[in-house]
Structure 1
Amino acid sequence: MDEYIVVVPVDATEINESYRNVVGGAGYFVANNIYSRLIVTEVGGAASYPDLAEHWECLDGGRRWRFQLNRHARWHDGRPVTAHDVAYTHLTALANGYHAASFLHGIADITVLDEHLVEYVLEEPNAAFLTQLGNFAATHVLPKHLYEGTDWADNPCNQRPVGSGPFRFAEHVPGERIVLERWDGYWGPPAGVDRVTLLVEPDLDECVRMIADGRAHYAPQDVLTMKRLPLAEGAKHAEVYRERGPGVALLGFNYRQERWSDHRLRLALAHAVDRERLRRFAEPGWSEPWANFFPGSSFAVAEDVTAVGHDAAQAEKLLDEAGYPRDADGLRMSLRLYYMATFDGHGGLAASVAEDLAAVGIHVEHSGLDSETWSRQVSGEGDFDLTISGGNMMPDPDITASRLATGGQRNHLRLSNPEADACYAAARATVDRRERIAHYRHLQEVWARDVSVVPLFWYCIYLLRSDAFFGWADQIDFRVPFWHWGRIRRIAGGED
């Protein structure tokens, strides 16, 4: 029996990612291998590929999108997957503000045309709709016959999920392992391994060592970071894969607080940040301090539109003007800065920013929060002053709207800028790439002028993976997400 072993630092507290997301938790990876979506969009490009949907049509200039489902698709209990499942899942998520709604905004209705034909009617034309629908892990389709009439929060299928993907759920031993088994009734290409076992190991160093010495075959992104590369050097059973990250780490302000409405204060902090000091966290050619608002890999990055540069004297002047003079001890104010601990690399960025702000009289306490605490304290209660966040997955900049547009479900900053919102809307309304780029350029100009957020770093994704297996996204032309293991197979003669 071929077993593929994935080591994860955080156990699954949620597997139904359409309901609730736990960033970095094992449930995120389980969901992506037992459930299906209508389509899958590349992380590193703009192409979308079939999943449940065999093909689709763009109608009325992008205001209606019609999807033809694969008639052979089945749930793991043998029931057929239908358009009713699709419409039920996404309409319920929208009605209740569940996680899937983060990437389903702008939908007026979802209509079942027949058992295998479903149509999304949008409030306005949206050229980026496929990017939203196929991006990330939020838009899985759930079995209507097992969820309808229940509270998604306590449905037992959350813990023993029934999906339609290449693997089916077999076992979860909390704090120890999750086991998935190949489902022979899968309607797509059969899985190349018999079993996937996710082992829970909170020690990130040990996660890396387990793959390096052959006890495991893969770890998700954010386990291997630049500071852990030495642990992977000389690995006998694994290789390091590098990829320019699809997002930028941003310093953000808590706009619930009146003080951040003062442009001078935001500009002062932006001038206080010394990006050159972040170069110690960079690997030449793969990551770097970054003053642009989109990563360099984005089709819409405006290379000449950047945040202001380091100028401590100007920062001091602006702080005085904004009414934050130094006291007898040289202190102007104290702030709390948080980042999500899952993104281990953000810890170094937070420490560097804290040092920069200390130089201009601002004391900053900084710490990483686990996903559950972040969701409650930062996103829910707004109990913070500053954050460093990333993960704004491209290919299309529209993905950032859920985080940076007014009312965006992931907009923990509560940033609201009508001019920026208009840029998003205008970019969605046209299918002409040049026009969309022009609107996104204006968006970046607005952010730069208003100091809406402060870009810090364009990061790298590091993956450590066994050389005994083949079928990762980059090896098969990125036609599956990098977190999907349905195409993984042992290389002939490959040994752990």
Structure 2
Amino acid sequence: MHKVRADGRRNPTGKAFMSIDFVVATPHDAIEFNDVYRNVTGSAGYLACNNIYNRVVLNEWYDINPFPDLATHWEQLDGSRRWRFHLNQAARWQDGTPLTAHDIVYTHLHAKKMGYQGAMFLKDVETIVAVNDHTVDYVLHTPNSGFLVLLGNFIFAHVLPRHLYEGTDWATNPHNLSPVGSGPFRLAEWIPGEHIIMEAVKNHWGPQPEIDRLILKIVPDRDECVRMVARGEAHIVPQDTLTKDRLHLVQGAPGVEIMTREGPGMALLDFNHGRELWQDKRVRDAVAHAVNRDEIAQLGDPGVSQAWDHYLLGNSWAFNPDAKAPGHDVGRARALLDEAGVTADANGVRGRLTVYYMDMFHGHQPLAEIVARQLGEVGFEVTFAGLPSVDWAREVRTRHDFDLIIVGGSMAPDPEITATKYSTGGQNNMGLHRNPDVDAAYLAARRAGAQAERREHYQQLQAVWARDTEWVPLFWYGMYYPRSEKFFGWADQLGYSVPWWHWGRMRPVA
């Protein structure tokens, strides 16, 4: 008698099949599974959503060109003011309901109407139209030749099932906790604080997963996450769990490859431009002069990460080598503060500042320590703290209750994705930036057709950032991925045609 698995595959030897499990050790539990409503970047929910849902198109960090996801192909119409997407007609929700253009129209227009996370990159969208069940048009207020990277670069652009969300309050919809997606894995079990188990969707409309279960194990101790990979108990840890100081925990482990490369963005110091203190450029310049990158360089790893003083990454197609932050000069910093009237009291204190970073990004903690100490050298009394993602969303994104933040600046693969942070009215404009020359540079780049012309406008954007010290670049971070050699299908092995945190193409190595 042949043994038969739940998916119908038979074992001709008659022996029972072993379930093929792919295990991720992650320090941050999920809150829910609707990242279009609100996103908890880097959490287990973030990882799960990448495997439960689909986007219209896919862009990943290292490739400016989009790849198909729900859309098989697309057209750039009306001088980049209208984008038409032709959908895979086989696409289905995990409850068997066909996925159509109407799901896309509903998801993204409702997110835009309500100001939800999914609207972060939809500022240019005037409306979305279902041409028919399998064709959808995004109509923009203004031409935008970089629109594809906005639609495909982040998980906020996932598509939700209209038949389960329309007419409901997204905040309380039960499918936030029991998601029905269109992706290759369905949620099977979530025990908060312990694990999330996802099972492969049998007869999936897209590429069929070759692993049976995707298991996210919640392990708050980052060191232990890395040790689990070294011991073969997990196959990967998420971004920023393995940092340079933890490499010794996994180096030399049998069956483990450590993939390293320069990261797709930088850590930077941003000002709360809504506060009067930072509206004086002399004060912003003083902060920039206080930063000593020789100290920050000690956090680097040659060939992987480094202290950085430019306003875009050096490997970017739009890099402007002449746009640099002010250099370290404590004397000049003090003189500028005196000139701006930010003088010291009898105790030598010019003012008290709070610096926040998101604690999920553990590598920002040593940067916060260094920056706080360096600002102390020019007379500021600085307190710094890492905020959980929910507190970050409330205090930084919504209330803007901070002086300075250390935050990741995603600068790849296209500078257009930074507009949500630095253009006036951008949904992720935490620092309340409102620089008309910045807005003009973004607009000109959107309206340009050829990449060479877009480059000129983005180089001007960097020049404006540097001229006005809009923010202060600190560190070009690196990526460390300790990963099991028992599997093939990582993003870099597939030409970045899938996101880093999508494991639907994983297959065991014989």
Q: TM-score, normalised by structure 2?
A: 0.95
Aligned residue for 1:213? 231
Aligned residue for 1:410? 428
The residue type equivalent to 1:371 in the other structure is S
In structure 2, what is the Cα distance between the partners aligned to 1:2 and 1:470? Answer: 13
The residue type equivalent to 1:204 in the other structure is R
How many residues matched? 492
Pick the aligned partner of 1:82 from 89, 100, 103: 100
1:176 aligns with 2:194: yes
Aligned residue for 2:80? 62
The question of whether the paired residues in 2 share the 8 Å contact of 1:213 and 1:237 is answered with: no
1:199 aligns with 2:217: yes
1:336 aligns with 2:393: no
In structure 2, what is the Cα distance between the partners aligned to 1:14 and 1:411? Answer: 24
The residue type equivalent to 2:56 in the other structure is L
The residue type equivalent to 2:386 in the other structure is G
1:147 aligns with 2:165: yes
Aligned residue for 2:439? 421
The residue type equivalent to 1:121 in the other structure is V
The question of whether the paired residues in 2 share the 8 Å contact of 1:337 and 1:365 is answered with: yes
The question of whether the paired residues in 1 share the 8 Å contact of 2:261 and 2:303 is answered with: no
Q: How does 1:232-247 map to 2 (within 5 A)?
A: 232-247=250-265
Greater CA drift, 117-126 or 321-330: 321-330
In structure 2, what is the Cα distance between the partners aligned to 1:391 and 1:162? Answer: 32
Aligned residue for 1:186? 204
Aligned residue for 1:41? 59
Cα shift readout 1:450-470 (whole Å, capped 9, x = no counterpart): 111000110001111111111
Pick the aligned partner of 1:471 from 460, 481, 489: 489
The residue type equivalent to 1:135 in the other structure is N
TM-fit CA distance, 1:77: 0.3
1:270 aligns with 2:288: yes
In structure 2, what is the Cα distance between the partners aligned to 1:13 and 1:152? Answer: 14
Secondary structure class of the residue paired with 1:283: coil
TM-fit CA distance, 1:393: 4.5
Q: Note the residue ranges of structure 2 that are not aligned, 5 or more in a row.
A: 1-18
In structure 1, what is the Cα distance between the partners aligned to 2:142 and 2:395? Answer: 34
The question of whether the paired residues in 2 share the 8 Å contact of 1:48 and 1:134 is answered with: yes
The question of whether the paired residues in 2 share the 8 Å contact of 1:103 and 1:133 is answered with: yes
In structure 2, what is the Cα distance between the partners aligned to 1:294 and 1:248? Answer: 8
The residue type equivalent to 2:498 in the other structure is V
TM-fit CA distance, 1:297: 2.4
Aligned residue for 1:301? 319
In structure 2, what is the Cα distance between the partners aligned to 1:4 and 1:59? Answer: 42
RMSD: 1.0
In structure 1, what is the Cα distance between the partners aligned to 2:37 and 2:203? Answer: 26
TM-fit CA distance, 1:296: 1.6
Greater CA drift, 387-396 or 335-344: 387-396
Q: Percent sequence identity over matched residues?
A: 52
Cα shift readout 1:289-336 (whole Å, capped 9, x = no counterpart): 111111122211101211110011100100111112222222211111
Aligned residue for 2:129? 111
Secondary structure class of the residue paired with 2:23: strand
In structure 1, what is the Cα distance between the partners aligned to 2:270 and 2:240? Answer: 21
In structure 2, what is the Cα distance between the partners aligned to 1:297 and 1:310? Answer: 24
Cα shift readout 1:413-438 (whole Å, capped 9, x = no counterpart): 11110110010011000121111111
TM-fit CA distance, 1:284: 0.5
The question of whether the paired residues in 2 share the 8 Å contact of 1:41 and 1:47 is answered with: yes
Secondary structure class of the residue paired with 1:421: helix
In structure 2, what is the Cα distance between the partners aligned to 1:129 and 1:232? Answer: 40
Q: TM-score, normalised by structure 1?
A: 0.98
Secondary structure class of the residue paired with 2:149: helix
The residue type equivalent to 1:337 in the other structure is V
TM-fit CA distance, 1:279: 0.9
Greater CA drift, 431-440 or 75-84: 431-440
Aligned residue for 2:41? 23
The question of whether the paired residues in 2 share the 8 Å contact of 1:246 and 1:297 is answered with: no
TM-fit CA distance, 1:238: 1.6
In structure 2, what is the Cα distance between the partners aligned to 1:293 and 1:19? Answer: 31
Secondary structure class of the residue paired with 2:63: coil
The question of whether the paired residues in 1 share the 8 Å contact of 2:268 and 2:409 is answered with: no
TM-fit CA distance, 1:243: 2.0
1:380 aligns with 2:405: no
TM-fit CA distance, 1:237: 3.2
In structure 1, what is the Cα distance between the partners aligned to 2:302 and 2:240? Answer: 19
Q: How does 1:441-456 map to 2 (within 5 A)?
A: 441-456=459-474
1:283 aligns with 2:331: no
1:435 aligns with 2:447: no
Aligned residue for 1:250? 268
Cα shift readout 1:120-154 (whole Å, capped 9, x = no counterpart): 11001000100000001110011100001001111
In structure 2, what is the Cα distance between the partners aligned to 1:54 and 1:184? Answer: 21
